[in-house]
Amino acid sequence: MSAADILSLLPMVILAGGILLTLILIALRRSHLLIFTAAEIIILAAIVAALLHLNQEPQIIGDIIVVDRFGLYYQILLLSATLVISIFSYISLERLFPDKRKEEYYVLLMLATLGSSMMVISTHFISFFVSIEVLTISLYTLISYYRERDKAIEAGLKYLVLAAMSSAFLLFGMALIYAVSGQMSFHALFAVATNYSGSSNVMLIAGAGLMIVGIGFKLALVPFHMWAPDVYEGASSPVSAFVATVSKGGVVALLLRFFTMTDLYRYQNVMLAFTVIALLSMLAGNLLALQQRNVKRLLAYSSIAHLGYLLVAFIAGKGMGVQAATFYITIYMLTILGAFGVVTILSKTDSEADGTEYYKGLFWRRPLLAALFTLFLLSLAGIPLTAGFIGKYFLLTAGLGNRQWLLAFVLVASSVIGLFYYLRLIVTMISQDEDYQKGLSPGIPSKGGLLTLMVLGILVLGLGLSPGWLIDLVRTLP
Amino acid sequence: MILAGLIILLMGCGVLAWLAGRWNNTLPRIISLFGISIQLLVVVWIWLTHQQGSVTGQWIMTYTHSWIPAFGIQIKFGIDGLSLLMIALTAFLGLLSVLTSWKEINNRVGFFHFNLLFVLAGITGVFLSLDLFLFYFSWEVMLIPMYFLISIWGNENRTYASYKFFLFTQGSGLLMFLSILGLYLIHGHNTGIFTFDYEQLLGTVMQPQTAFLLMLGFVLAFIVKLSTVPFHSWLPDAHTQAPTAGSVILAGLLLKTGVYGLIRFVLPLFPQASHQFAPVAMVLGVVSILYGAKLAFAQTDLKRLIAYISVSHMGFILLGIYAFNEMAMQGVVMQMVAHGISTGALFIIAGTLHERIQTRDLGQMGGLWAKIPKMGALGLVFVMASLGFPGLGNFVAEFLILNGSFMANQKLTIIATLGLVAATIYALRIMQKVFYGKEQKTWVIADFSIREMGIMITLVIAVVWMGLFPSAVLTVSRPSVLKVIESVADRKAQTREAQLHRQTTLEQNITMTGASLPGHHWNTNSKKAN
């Protein structure tokens, strides 16, 4: 490994080094604020380092890692999301977990981010698997961090069992592919995929199928989605936001890179499987969300549906499809962070504001916060003036450009279903009868959290009105 | 720049009104009044300074600005006679909506006006957009605030009504969006230029089946909006539950966006497919006329009754559009304006009554003329207008439509004419049940105040003016109408030309060239109309 290689990995080096530094800091002095500030600085430094590298030539390190614009873009995205999440975490920890040890939380958070951001630059099964495990193992602990709340332990355990099983699927899939081809790097697999095109080799297809199961689990796609609502509900809102954004974002990037580099698009069977998964995710996600009365569960189902939408672009293939998927995941992350942020900053000392009764008449009590939440919900629903609409437009164009009429049609139909539950939440917020007095009153939002939400809100609105710059940026990624 | 300015003005005033609502209830009203008045003044200025008759088929004014160049999306506004009329109607009814809600809306005044102005901004955007992406964008922008208007300030069953309204229009709108994307991609593949520009997309070459499917997406969105049977069921609920200003805007403007879409986009973009679709559309139109009239007659809720009148009147519009001739189309334009005014007025009367006696049930009214003669007399004027009384705007409109569609399809037109008879019955029933007959309850009720008289008299002047001097409206719309008719008929002539050409080459006959000159066909039509 040359000096240039290490330099190009600088963001990751900063993050990894920062984690060690934080551990030492904790040993020296237990102070929530201090550790929080240290974490923010470390993440910011990593973002800056990644930004500096953005315009450099792609750096290939062995066959294992490639640091290119695509990877760096995703790293910046994931790190920024972690930055926002750690702010929400600070609020949440202070409220719900006082007088306990809160400092290790940030170490785990950064470790999980490290795993996710390593994943987006992996080009080899080994680096892929190691980074996904780093992410998952940190997540087990994060999900059940509030160990005195019974649902947290349940959620953590559920995630542990299922994630371990899905890792096994993933590993077995990789092993099968390796057994046939003797290759583990994506580059080398490209040649294999070309040679074995057609369905001549059952083992290769089986391997790919098992990998789809593993990846489907990590992205909570139907029918591998069962864990998502329980985990989202049991974990604290910032952690749920982390699962929904950073964890999924990293896997999406890897999926795009894996399929583009090995050109698995040529396998009709694999694409058919993804088409079915996309259709199921869009429909089931939205239909199941209809029945939810818990905002966190609702957001869980909504994010299942959104990943289904994203697959429409993914299936559309190289070029436009990849760009659309990248654009959409960016928008999705912004919006879902905002939505979970609202739930976080409304939380009280004894419970989170996850029941819809907390939101009754919110519009008249906290107009700014309710307006922001409305904005995020409308963006999730894909209504113009918000970024979500542009994202959905991009997806549809990519899908139709590849003549995926069925997928596009289902996307449209299921987003109408989706509208229904987003609207219901908005209706709850604007209900003005006196009964909102009787509804549960949520906690008082903190200034810092409100400010963060406003930044997210401005981005969502701004990208809805002039998305040009982001589209141009996304188009320069290979 | 002026055109974009109009929209920015409305949105800006909307935000200001919201902010001002925190301190004072009157300030948002004044801000809204101010913003819409400026819009009205600008429209009048455009109307007076630009002689539309002289520039045939050209835009009076356009504004282009790049928005998302990567996808060929631009901000492109254009105004011609048709848009000018619609914008004038928007500003006019907008102004009246602010005035009618002056006393009616007393809670969340700021947010109310924010929504009101955003609906108007969206509607203005729809009438001005010359870029299909921008058009869809504005189309959706007007929905959310309208949804809020119904679901916050509506009547007892508002939540249900607002859901229904939103899901119907949003669902059909998304289908239109798919069609827009389909058109965009086909044009892109054909020419290599990916653009949403309306003028460039005109005349896109595609398979007849594809064209028909894409057209259906558009048509569905538009006929849901103009509440053609069987897609009408959202309308009675939404109109009944909305606050008065909401009903006025729904009936007067939102329905018109559907009509406008058919005229501006469907016919010119898909001339062939429109011809295929015409028989179905005309039948749907006739069914709406009669079914709407029948349902209107059966209602006991005053606002519901008026809502079904809209369904019936929109049937005439559908019939007229698909007659493909100048006379019917001019009638359609006239009907849009006249219906906007007369139904708007009826909703204002119903709203005022509701505000005063807290009921819309016809069974509880009766004999009110003695107590509120002013309202009674004005009610009579607009009831007469809706039933197509000569001398008022609606008469001219319906006459032109029926006359024009008679040239296109005689049988259907004869059946449609029955709608006029039915109109007399349901319209007179309003008068009878509300103002005449025995008093059912002893209401203590105030007549129109000076503010309300002002509103109503402006409306009366407008409807009489249109009835007596229809040419004022018709000359403005004529160039745009001719252009639309030309684009539809031109294709017909072209295909006929192609057929004739084939014939001539086959039979070695050279004498047919004169008959196949492009444009010949519609010339005869316009002569007839003159």
pLDDT digits (tens, 9 = 90+) for B184-205: 999 999 998 899 999 899 888 8
The interaxial angle of helices B471-507 and B326-357, nearest 10 deg, is 140
Residue B202 lies in a domain: no
Structural domain of residue B411, as residue ranges?
A: 275-472
- Residue B295 has a pLDDT of 93
Query: Which of A306-315, B433-442, B486-495 holds the top average pLDDT?
Result: A306-315
- Residue A39 has a pLDDT of 96
Which residue from A384, A390, A412 is facing B175, i.e. has the nearest CB?
Answer: A412
Q: How far apart are CA A362 and CA A357, in angstroms?
A: 10
Query: Coil, helix or strand for B197?
Result: strand
What confidence tier does B492 reach under pLDDT thresholds 50, 70, 90? low
Chain A environment of B144 (Cβ under 8 Å): 378, 383
Which residue has better confidence, B366 or A139?
A139
Q: What angle do CA A6, A12, A15 make, to 5 degrees?
A: 130
Q: How far apart are CA B247 and CA B100, in angstroms?
A: 11
Q: What is the mean pLDDT of chain B?
A: 87
Per the CB < 8 A criterion, the answer to whether B180 and B264 are in contact is no
**Closest residue, chain B, to A378 (C-alpha):** B144
Kind and range of the H or E element at B441? none
Q: Which residue has the tokens 């709108």?
A: B173
Q: How far apart are CA A426 and CA A420, in angstroms?
A: 10
Q: In the predicted model, what is the mean pLDDT of residues B385-405?
A: 92
Which residue from B70, B107, B162 is facing A471, i.e. has the nearest CB?
Answer: B70
- Residue B57 has a pLDDT of 53
Q: How far apart are CA A439 and CA A442, in angstroms?
A: 9
First-last CA distance in chain B:
36
What is chain A's pLDDT, residue by residue, as a tens digit (478 residues)?
788 888 889 999 999 999 999 999 999 998 999 999 999 999 999 999 999 988 888 889 888 999 999 999 999 999 999 999 999 999 999 888 888 888 999 999 999 999 999 999 999 999 999 999 999 999 999 999 988 877 889 999 999 999 999 999 999 999 998 988 888 998 888 877 667 655 557 888 888 899 999 999 999 998 999 999 999 999 999 999 999 999 999 999 999 999 999 888 888 888 999 999 999 999 999 999 998 989 999 999 999 999 999 999 999 887 789 999 999 999 999 999 999 999 999 888 878 888 888 888 888 888 899 999 999 999 999 998 899 999 999 999 999 988 888 999 999 999 989 988 998 899 888 887 655 555 567 777 888 899 999 999 999 999 999 999 999 999 988 7
Per the CB < 8 A criterion, the answer to whether A244 and A329 are in contact is no
Give the alpha-carbon dihedral of B98, B102, B108, B111, to 10 degrees: 10
- Residue A46 has a pLDDT of 96
Distance to chain B for A465, nearest Cα, Å:
9
Closest CA to B5 of B97, B153, B125, B147: B125
Residue B324 lies in a domain: yes
Q: Say if the Cβ atoms of B171 and A408 lie within 8 Å.
A: no
Q: Which residue has the tokens 């790293």?
A: A75
Tell me which of B170, B194, B241 to substitute to probe the interface with A (most A C-beta atoms closer than 10 Å): B170
What confidence tier does B519 reach under pLDDT thresholds 50, 70, 90? very low
Chain B environment of A472 (Cβ under 8 Å): 70
- Residue A126 has a pLDDT of 94
Q: Say if the Cβ atoms of A378 and B144 lie within 8 Å.
A: yes
Chain B environment of A413 (Cβ under 8 Å): 171
- Give me the interface pTM, i.e. the ipTM: 0.88
The interaxial angle of helices B271-298 and B302-321, nearest 10 deg, is 160
Res B209 pLDDT > 70: yes
Q: What angle do CA B219, B222, B224 make, to 5 degrees?
A: 105
Query: Which of A201-205, A430-434, B223-227, B517-521 holds the top average pLDDT?
Result: B223-227
Distance to chain B for A436, nearest Cα, Å:
14
Q: How many structural domains are present in chain B?
A: 1
Q: Say if the Cβ atoms of A416 and B108 lie within 8 Å.
A: no
Which residue from B171, B177, B185 is facing A401, i.e. has the nearest CB?
Answer: B185
- Residue B413 has a pLDDT of 94
- Those residues of chain B whose CB sits closer than 8 Å to some CB in chain A are 67-71, 107-108, 133, 136-137, 140-141, 143-144, 147-148, 151-152, 159, 162-163, 166-167, 170-171, 174-175, 177-178, 181-182, 184-185
Per the CB < 8 A criterion, the answer to whether B70 and A471 are in contact is yes
Tell me which of A290, A392, A416 to substitute to probe the interface with B (most B C-beta atoms closer than 10 Å): A416
Please give the single-letter amino acid code of residue A70.
Answer: F
Q: Say if the Cβ atoms of B163 and A420 lie within 8 Å.
A: yes
Please give the single-letter amino acid code of residue A140.
Answer: Y
Q: Please, where are the H alpha helices in B299-409?
A: 302-321, 326-357, 373-386, 393-408
Chain A environment of B67 (Cβ under 8 Å): 466, 468
Res B520 pLDDT > 50: no
pLDDT one-digit tens code per residue, B241-267 = 999 999 999 999 999 999 999 999 999
Percent of chain B with pLDDT over 70: 91
What confidence tier does B508 reach under pLDDT thresholds 50, 70, 90? very low
Q: Say if the Cβ atoms of B174 and A385 lie within 8 Å.
A: no
Residue B380 lies in a domain: yes
Rg of chain B on CA atoms, in Å: 23
Q: How far apart are CA B173 and CA B178, in angstroms?
A: 9
Global pTM reads: 0.90
Q: How far apart are CA A388 and CA A461, in angstroms?
A: 9
Chain A environment of B171 (Cβ under 8 Å): 413, 416
